[in-house]
Amino acid sequence: MADDGVLYRVYERRLARELSTLPLPQHLGVIVDGNRRWAKASGASTEEGHRQGAAKITEFLTWCEELSIPLVTVWMLSHDNLRRPAEELEALFGIITDTLGELVDAGYEVRLTGNADVLPEEVREQIRCRQERGRVTRELAVNLAIGYGGREEIVVAVQELVRELGAQGLEPDAIAERITTEAIGEHLYTRGQPDPDLIIRTSGEQRLSGFLMWQSVHSEFWFCETYWPGFRHVDFLRAIRDFCKRERRFGA
């Protein structure tokens, strides 16, 4: 009689074959939630929970590459997370910069998605240095959302747009007429990129918490109970299959 491991692998291969015939998401967002709760349940430190979560990101990106998904946005640190204890943030900043460096060294195109100004100066410098040393050799592009807040992103985009229009000498009414959805979109952190087709959130929470608020207007969502460090390949495949079977009408 086949053991559970064999049955699991058979199921995984069946899911992968099924997806090979379906239209896949071109931009995938993921809220990597539950690192601290995973650590508590496992008897590990909070820092170890974050490290395991970072390692899962690297693994997750290889799954996306296997399906030829071209763009992934990973929410590593929210604007609200900056209120956490200093000791936890110090460890988090180190884990984030190490992870970014590993992805750059692996050949991914890595783009910072967030307001770097809210990060400590030394963290910003470390991120800049790691990004500069990279050479893109892979097809998958990765947005790392660090210090990211959805409301803050929209405010920053509108502020940039208003300053740009004001520098042209336009009057207030003329500026107001130029503030369109298209114009704001051109000033978002994800400017020039497609909106996410699917957003995955782990840990059982069923909310976006401000993740890609503007861009997710037509996104599909998939929530699961698993904490992020425990997220499995089969969970990923199930999420993609569920997305592929939905009928997307985009409000029409």
Q: Is residue 169 part of a domain?
A: no
75 is in an annotated binding site: no
Question: Which phi and psi angles does 72 have, rounded to 5°?
Answer: -135, 135
Give, as one character, the DSSP assignment of residue 208.
Answer: -
Instruction: Give the residues of the chain that fall short of pLDDT 50.
Output: 1
Q: Is residue 249 part of a domain?
A: no
Range of the domain at 144: 24-149+193-244
Sheet containing strand 198-201, edge to edge, reads 109-113, 141-148, 71-78, 27-31, 198-201, 220-223
Cβ(171)–Cβ(193) below 8 Å: no
Q: What b/e readout covers 105-128, taking b as 16+ CB neighbours within 10 angstroms? A: ebebbbbbbbbeebbeeebbebbe
Q: Is residue 221 part of a domain?
A: yes
The structure tokens 């929530």 sit at 223
Per-residue model confidence (pLDDT) at position 4: 67
Q: CATH no. for residue 53?
A: 3.40.1180.10
For the stretch 78-124, pLDDT in tens is 999 999 999 999 999 999 999 999 999 999 999 999 988 888 999 99
Q: Is 33 a catalytic residue?
A: yes
Q: Is residue 81 part of a domain?
A: yes
Per-residue model confidence (pLDDT) at position 136: 94
Q: Up-side HSE of residue 178: CA atoms within 13 Å toward CB?
A: 19
87 is in an annotated binding site: no
For residues 98 and 249, give the distance between their C-alpha atoms in angstroms, rounded to a whole number. Answer: 40
Per-residue model confidence (pLDDT) at position 1: 44
Per-residue model confidence (pLDDT) at position 3: 67
* Number of structural domains in the chain: 1
Kindly name the residue from 3, 4, 33, 98 that is annotated as catalytic.
33
- State the virtual CA torsion across 166, 167, 168, 174 in degrees, nearest 10: 0
Per-residue model confidence (pLDDT) at position 41: 97
Q: Is residue 102 part of a domain?
A: yes
Q: Is residue 32 part of a domain?
A: yes
Kindly name the residue from 81, 98, 115, 235 that is annotated as catalytic.
81
Q: Is residue 7 part of a domain?
A: no
13 is in an annotated binding site: no
Q: Is 143 a catalytic residue?
A: no
84 is in an annotated binding site: yes
Q: Is residue 49 part of a domain?
A: yes
